[in-house]
Amino acid sequence: MPFITVKVLEGKTTEQKRELVKKMTDVVTETFEVEKDKVFIFFEDLEKDNYGKHGELFSDINK
Amino acid sequence: MPFITVKVLEGKTTEQKRELVKKMTDVVTETFEVEKDKVFIFFEDLEKDNYGKHGELFSDINK
Amino acid sequence: MPFITVKVLEGKTTEQKRELVKKMTDVVTETFEVEKDKVFIFFEDLEKDNYGKHGELFSDINK
Amino acid sequence: MPFITVKVLEGKTTEQKRELVKKMTDVVTETFEVEKDKVFIFFEDLEKDNYGKHGELFSDINK
Amino acid sequence: MPFITVKVLEGKTTEQKRELVKKMTDVVTETFEVEKDKVFIFFEDLEKDNYGKHGELFSDINK
Amino acid sequence: MPFITVKVLEGKTTEQKRELVKKMTDVVTETFEVEKDKVFIFFEDLEKDNYGKHGELFSDINK
ipTM: 0.97
Report whether D9 contacts D52 (CB < 8 A): no
Q: What whole-number distance in Å separates Cα of residue B15 and Cα of residue E16?
A: 43
CA torsion angle E16 E20 E22 E23 (round to 10): 130
- The amino acid at residue A16 is Q
Predicted pLDDT of residue A54? 94
> Which chain C residues are Cβ-neighbours of F57 within 8 angstroms?
14, 17-18, 21
Domain that holds residue F10: 3-61
Per-residue pLDDT, averaged over F38-55, amounts to 97
What rounded mean pLDDT belongs to chain B?
96
Q: Is the pLDDT of residue F20 over 90?
A: yes
Contact B6, C4 (CB under 8 A): yes
CATH number for the domain including E48? 3.30.429.10
Q: What is d(CA E49, CA C51) in angstroms, rounded to the nearest whole number?
A: 23
How many angstroms away from the CA of C2 is the closest CA of chain B?
Answer: 5
The count of structural domains within chain C is 1
Amino acid F62: pLDDT: 80
Asked if residue B63 has pLDDT above 90, the reply is no
Indicate if the pLDDT at residue F63 is higher than 80.
Answer: no
Question: What phi and psi values does residue C37 have, to the nearest 5 degrees?
Answer: -80, 10
- pLDDT one-digit tens code per residue, D30-62: 999 999 999 999 999 999 999 999 999 999 998
- As a whole number of angstroms, the distance between CA F53 and CA C25 comes to 8
Residue E22 has pLDDT above 90, yes or no: yes
pLDDT at site F31 = 98
Average pLDDT of the segment spanning F19-43: 97
Output B17 or C62, whichever has higher pLDDT: B17
Tens digit of each residue's pLDDT (9 = 90 or more) over B2-51: 999 999 999 999 999 999 999 999 999 999 999 999 999 999 999 999 99
pLDDT at F1: 81
Report whether C23 contacts B31 (CB < 8 A): yes
Would you call A42 and B54 a contact, using CB atoms and an 8 Å cutoff? no
Q: Is the pLDDT of residue D7 over 80?
A: yes
The per-residue pLDDT for B1 is 82
Q: What is the pLDDT of residue C16?
A: 98
Contact F52 C41 (CB under 8 A): yes
Task: Please say if the pLDDT value at position C11 is more than 90.
Answer: yes
Q: Does pLDDT of A27 surpass 80?
A: yes
Among E18, E30, E47, the residue to mutate for chain C (most C Cβ within 10 A): E18
What is the dihedral sign for C-alpha B3, E48, F52, A30?
Answer: positive
Tell me the mean pLDDT in the region F29-36. Answer: 96
- Shortest Cα–Cα distance, A41 to chain B (Å): 5
A5 is catalytic: no
Look at residue E16 and tell me whether its pLDDT is greater than 80.
Answer: yes
- Residue F52 with chain C: CB contacts under 8 Å: 17, 20-21, 25, 40-43
pLDDT(C27) > 90: yes
Residue range E23-57, pLDDT digits in tens: 999 999 999 999 999 999 999 999 999 999 999 99
Q: Do chains A and D touch (3 or more CB pairs under 8 A)?
A: yes
CB atoms within 10 A of CB B19: 16
D1 pLDDT band, cuts 50/70/90, is confident
* Structure confidence at residue C1 (pLDDT): 82
pLDDT value of residue A31 = 98
More confident residue, C3 or C62: C3
Q: Go through D23-59 and write b for each residue having 16 or more CB atoms within 10 A of its CB, e for each that does not.
A: bbbebbbebbebeeebbbbbbbbbebbbbbbebbbbb
Please tell me which residue in F1, F2, F35, F46 is annotated as part of the active site.
F2
Residue D62, pLDDT score: 80
Select the residue of B51, B54, B59 nearest A42 (Cβ to Cβ): B51
Please give the share of chain A, as a percent, with pLDDT higher than 90. Answer: 95
